[in-house]
Amino acid sequence: MALPASTLATYQQIGNREDLSDDIWKISPTDTPFFTAVDKVKASAVKHEWQTVALPAVDTANAVLEGDDATTDAATVTVRLDNICQISDKVARVTGTAQVVDHAGRDDEMAFQEMIMGQALKIDVDTILCGTNQVKDAGDTTSARATASILSWIGTNDSFGAGAGASPTSLDGTAARTDGTQRAFTEAQLKSVFQLIWTQGGKPNMIMAGGFNKQVFSTFTGRATPTEDVKSKKIIAAVDAYESDFGTVKVVPSRNVRSRDVLVLETDKWAVAHLRKMDSIQLAITGDSRRKQLITEYALVARNEKASGGVFDLTTS
């Protein structure tokens, strides 16, 4: 059928108003599982320090004579550790014109950009802490300071691939993990790490894995059993808990860990020390634009890495 002659259609109209929704749909992830799970503490210097201690080894020959004089045992001394506070930031800049024109979906362009930058900065921090193989660096006038990430602390309780695979040579944030030959993730690997942690006295409560190995994990026998909700006709197959021989552990997928790593953590043995919590600073005006800097200064605190572990060098597809 053809359009009747002289009928005005929208194709010829001039002046039709645009139909632009006031909703802005954001697909990018905003999850920060590690940063959210661990404690937040205050730092008061660029170099943040803390102490750890371990009980003396078990003495199976601990028997004394009746009436004998007491013999003094060797004193237990603490271990002093430290990490460096790293500065991370995002800067938003909006022209004077961009700020005053009418906007769809937001009233204030600078406030909108500030919100977006703030979410991005949180993801940066989470990924730096748990998804990089980064050692601490005190920096200088030409290089930025770096905080040692979790991978440069974990080494007592780990499972890694053959070849070059190795734990950090010193578990104090000064040495990086050496990646080895990748292999498929198995429940046997996970169980071996749990036993190592338990032997050291740890009580892990969270497993973090990337998307692929989270799905591999869902096939393990120790996972929560999938159930079927007859009323809603839904099969619930997602696994958010693991019944290990040493307790139930929460399983969390993370986009920010390296996809080749599965971290087994006792979260209260980790913290983030803030020298400066995230802040928004109005920068100097140098022309017809406004700038705001979102900035934070922080260090990872490994209160005792022996309470955690990891399965490393895993295939990712």
235-246 pLDDT per residue, tens: 444 568 888 899
Residue 65 banded pLDDT, cuts 50, 70, 90: very high
Task: Work out the widest C-alpha separation in the chain, in whole angstroms.
Answer: 120
According to the model, what pLDDT value does residue 215 have?
A: 93
Which contacts qualify for 172-175: CB closer than 8 Å, 24 or more apart? 172/81, 173/81, 173/82, 173/83, 173/135, 173/136, 173/148, 173/300, 173/302, 174/135, 174/136, 174/148, 175/135
267-310 pLDDT per residue, tens: 999 999 999 999 999 999 999 999 999 999 999 999 999 999 99
194-211 pLDDT per residue, tens: 999 999 999 999 999 999
Q: Which residues pair with 262 in a beta bridge?
A: 209, 311
Q: Where are the domains of the chain?
A: 33-51+79-311
Q: How far apart are CA 117 and CA 102, in angstroms?
A: 21
Within 8 A by CB and 6+ apart from 306, the residues are 54, 156, 157, 197, 200, 201, 202
- pTM of the entire predicted model: 0.87
Give the start-end residues of each E strand in the chain: 39-42, 47-52, 79-84, 86-95, 158-159, 206-209, 227-229, 234-236, 241-244, 247-253, 262-265, 270-282, 289-302, 309-311
Q: Which two tokens stand for residue 174?
A: 């000064």
71-87 pLDDT per residue, tens: 999 999 999 999 999 99
Residue indicated by tokens 């193989």: 133
